[in-house]
Amino acid sequence: MPDDERFEGATVRKAANVYYGGRVTSRELDTADGTHVSLGIILPGEYEFETDENEEIELLAGSATVELPDGSEIEVGVGESFSVPGASRFVISTDEVVDYLCRYG
């Protein structure tokens, strides 16, 4: 995805999603074509998340180690993404600030 990708005509939810005492935050938006995404920041640390639906997470800045629901671990960096099935859990750890985009569905 290009750095300058824009979500024209998107509706943004004003209130942030705040997790782990503000160490992970995101804002959700819905595009004119019905795509649901969130844009967020992860501060250094290790965090476990549950998913309700399928998620594809792309790193826009930083790098992280991700433990996927099947127990495997992967390293992801800028421009790389990973997918997590709905109704599952994953763990993400990082030593640096991570900027990410999550696509749902």
Going from N- to C-terminal start, the domains of the chain cover 11-104
Does the domain formed by 11-104 have CATH 3.40.50.2020? no
> Residue 9 carries which DSSP code?
T
pLDDT tens digits for the chain (105 residues)?
Answer: 445 678 888 999 999 999 999 999 999 999 888 999 999 999 999 999 999 999 999 999 999 999 999 999 999 999 999 999 999 999 999 999 999 999 999
**What does the pLDDT read at residue 3?**
57
Residues β-bridged to residue 64: 76
Do residues 46 and 23 lie in contact, with contact meaning Cβ atoms separated by under 8 Å? no
Q: Write the single-letter amino acid at 19.
A: Y
Positive or negative torsion for Cα 44, 83, 20, 72:
negative
**What does the pLDDT read at residue 2?**
47
